[in-house]
Amino acid sequence: MHYLDNSATTPVLREAAEQAYKVMTSAFGNPSSQHKMGIEAAHILKESRREIAAALHVQPTEVVFTSCGTESTNLALFSAARRRRKGHIVTTAVEHAATLQCCKRLEQEGFEVTYLPPDSTGHVSAEAFSAALRTDTVLASMMLVNNETGACLPVGACGQALKRRCPEALFHVDAVQGLFRVPLTPEKWKCDLMSVSGHKIGAPKGIGALYLRKGVHLAPLLCGGGQENGLRSGTEALPNIAAFGAACRVRAATFAEDVKKVEGLKAALLDGLQTRLPWALVNGAGDVPHVVSLSLPGCKSEVVLRVLESDAVYVSAGSACSKGRESHVLRAMGLDKGRIDSAVRVSFAPYNTLEDVEALLAGLEKAAAMLRRG
């Protein structure tokens, strides 16, 4: 099996699965219980929070657990915007649906939203961001790494511009595809809120987190028992949280060498494309080596995916979330329809190998021979 769809989700790391198993079968108490089992669970919660906070370069008290990156983004955007009745929000046209759909809802509630367009490489400039700011801007939300192209957005320059021009406004960074791809420095970025998700880094699905800068107060979306400092009620998903903590510990220990390894995989893919499929087009800037978007003009992505799948090579067309719909990211970049319809996203994780790259290249050659006309 050659799994090259790690921006969609990743296999669970052994250490993370073992930690989850331990919590599910022996340390299964409720962290709010007053007895020994509860105290043990509360200790695991605290330790996991510490490990995740270290990966995010924030304080443990600034981490709020959620069920996923989407919930983290919903909590950030709805709560931050609704501190005011109306106002202006700045985001980009290349955000994940989690952000775009929240912004659409906020527009229905009376907020005005500016969606900054990218250039043809998938970048959005800090100058365009600054120019979009208004006196009534209450919130800005920007992704760190684009899930379809691997382009990095200038969150640092944008955060600083926002705080200079609109000191009351809050800045949210969607770092779901950034965690363990690039270093996270939320303080430097003047970031108030930052979303991450466990299943993109080797933890199970069902766990995310929101960084909430000390001193920022948000209203919860879920009310109940008051867990997570009242911001996210509901008994903590301790097996998932513990696994997320373990995944952060493991990934942090090998971060630098992992990035080098993934750079080698991307270089091998690009070399292979140049010699074996020189007419293939690479889409976007691909600032991080983990994501390569490529188009094989004349070869519909759904069909390429099926050909690759028949050789146990797994990739996405656009993003996994777009489920066959035309990519809004590639469209916003102004790519032509032929290029969008033939786009394939390859996404690496550190466990991938050169054999995976070779299997992909062989599969792409096979698909091209079957599908390419002329």
Q: Degrees (nearest 5) of the Cα angle 158, 163, 168?
A: 130
What is the H or E stretch that residue 91 is in?
A: strand 88-92
For ligand PLP, the binding residue among 174, 258, 341, 356 (CB under 6 A) is: 174
The 3-class secondary structure across 322-335, one letter per residue, is: HCCCCCHHHHHCCC
For ligand PLP, the binding residue among 176, 231, 296, 364 (CB under 6 A) is: 176
Q: How far is the CB of 144 from ligand PLP (least distance, A)?
A: 8
Q: Cα separation of 355 and 374, whole Å? A: 30
Is residue 291 at the binding interface for ligand PLP, with CB under 6 A as the rule? no
Binding mask 207-236 for ligand PLP (x = CB under 6 A): -x----------------------------
For ligand PLP, the binding residue among 55, 58, 143, 248 (CB under 6 A) is: 143
Q: Judge residue 60's burial from the number of C-beta atoms within 10 Å of its C-beta, 0-12 exposed, 13-18 middle, 19 or more buried.
A: middle
State the first-to-last Cα distance of the chain, in angstroms, to the nearest integer: 32
Instruction: Give the nearest residue (CB) to ligand PLP.
Output: 69
Q: How far is the CB of 299 from ligand PLP (least distance, A)?
A: 24
Q: Look up 321 and say whether it is catalytic.
A: yes
Backbone phi, then psi, for 113, in 5-degree steps?
-120, 130
Is residue 19 at the binding interface for ligand PLP, with CB under 6 A as the rule? no
Q: How far is the CB of 228 from ligand PLP (least distance, A)?
A: 17
**CA atoms within 13 Å, Cβ hemisphere of 70:** 9
Q: Cα separation of 307 and 367, whole Å? A: 6
For ligand PLP, the binding residue among 70, 301, 322, 342 (CB under 6 A) is: 70
Q: How far is the CB of 7 from ligand PLP (least distance, A)?
A: 6
Is residue 5 at the binding interface for ligand PLP, with CB under 6 A as the rule? no
For ligand PLP, the binding residue among 126, 277, 321, 371 (CB under 6 A) is: 321
Q: How far is the CB of 34 from ligand PLP (least distance, A)?
A: 33
Give 318 or 363: the residue with its C-beta nearer to ligand PLP: 318
Q: How far is the CB of 173 from ligand PLP (least distance, A)?
A: 10
Q: Cα separation of 336 and 327, whole Å? A: 11
For ligand PLP, the binding residue among 96, 181, 249, 328 (CB under 6 A) is: 96
Task: Give yes or no for a contact between 338 and 252, defined as CB atoms under 8 angstroms apart.
Answer: no
Is residue 69 at the binding interface for ligand PLP, with CB under 6 A as the rule? yes
Q: How far is the CB of 208 from ligand PLP (least distance, A)?
A: 5
Is residue 293 at the binding interface for ligand PLP, with CB under 6 A as the rule? no
Is residue 42 at the binding interface for ligand PLP, with CB under 6 A as the rule? no
What is the H or E stretch that residue 157 is in?
A: helix 155-165
Q: What DSSP string describes 332-354?
A: HTT--HHHHHTEEEEE--TT--H
Q: Residues binding ligand PLP: what is the number (CB under 6 A)?
A: 14
Interface region with ligand PLP, contact rule CB under 6 A, candidates 18-26, 169-177, 237-245, 269-277: 169-177
Going from the C-alpha of 23 to that of each of 30, 40, 134, the distances in angstroms are 11, 10, 49
Q: Which two tokens stand for residue 259?
A: 């990035």
Is residue 49 at the binding interface for ligand PLP, with CB under 6 A as the rule? no
Interface region with ligand PLP, contact rule CB under 6 A, candidates 36-44, 68-76, 86-94, 280-288: 68-76
Treating both helix axes as pointing N-terminal to C-terminal, what angle do 69-81 and 97-108 enclose, rounded to 10 degrees?
30
DSSP state of 11: P
Query: Going by C-beta distance under 8 Å and a sequence separation of 6 or more, which residues neighbour residue 34?
Result: none
Contact residues for ligand PLP, defined by CB under 6 A: 68-70, 96, 98, 143, 147, 174, 176-177, 197, 199, 208, 321
Residues annotated as part of the active site: 321
